[in-house]
């Protein structure tokens, strides 16, 4: 992995991570060994932090994908641009959008992204609502109960 940030901001609603939450130094990072840049397949990394966070961790998805049933409503969050056609400036405050899980075949047809396969999770919502430019890499989560969220996937593209 290239030279990235030295810290992560945990539990913050603000892009610079200094108004709330906590900043924790990254001790090490490991990029997925199958990462392939042109289509961003396996575009993820494991970050080891120098100390634990005070925030509760999210639960990872089940290996059998039973969390990813078609039509399940999920939430994506990010600091992407609200008006990417006008400006590429990111939002200062975290925003969220509700998205339903789609069939990958329907996603390929809607987006013309022919490389979408079983390693992808596709989700969409109401027309005109969705993730935005700059939200790539953000989480796709579902609420398990009011105090606990399950991490389902990460966002790759916006459409």
* pLDDT tens, residue by residue, 80-107: 887 767 777 888 888 888 988 888 888 8
Cβ atoms within 10 Å of 116's Cβ, excluding its own = 20
pLDDT band with cut points at 50, 70 and 90 for residue 158: very low
Q: How confident is the model at residue 151 (pLDDT cuts 50, 70, 90)?
A: low
Q: Which residues contact 62 (CB under 8 A, 6 or more apart)?
A: none
CATH number of this structure's domain 73-154: 2.40.10.10
Residue 153 has pLDDT above 80, yes or no: no
- Express each pLDDT in 19-49 by its tens digit: 788 999 999 999 889 887 776 677 778 899 9
List strands edge to edge, sheet with 73-78: 122-124, 95-102, 73-78, 139-145, 148-154
- Spell out the domain ranges in the chain: 7-49, 73-154
The mean pLDDT value for 68-75 works out to 83
Task: Give the separation between CA 75 and CA 97, rounded to whole angstroms.
Answer: 6
Q: Are 138 and 89 in contact (CB under 8 A)?
A: no
């Amino acid at each position: 992995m290239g030279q990235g940030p030295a810290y992560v901001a945990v539990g913050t609603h603000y892009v610079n991570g200094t108004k709330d939450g906590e900043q924790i130094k990254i001790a090490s990072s490991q990029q997925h060994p199958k990462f392939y840049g042109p289509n961003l397949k396996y575009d993820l990394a494991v970050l080891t932090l120098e100390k634990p966070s005070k925030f509760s961790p999210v639960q990872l998805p089940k290996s059998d994908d039973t969390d990813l049933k078609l039509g399940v409503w999920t939430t994506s969050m990010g600091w992407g641009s609200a008006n990417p056609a006008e400006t590429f400036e990111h939002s200062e405050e975290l925003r969220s959008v509700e998205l339903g899980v789609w069939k990958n075949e329907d996603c390929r047809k809607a987006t013309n992204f022919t490389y979408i396969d079983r390693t992808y999770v596709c989700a969409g919502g109401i027309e005109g609502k969705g993730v935005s430019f700059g939200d790539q890499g953000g989480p796709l989560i579902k609420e398990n109960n009011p105090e606990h969220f399950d991490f389902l996937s990460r966002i790759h593209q916006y459409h």
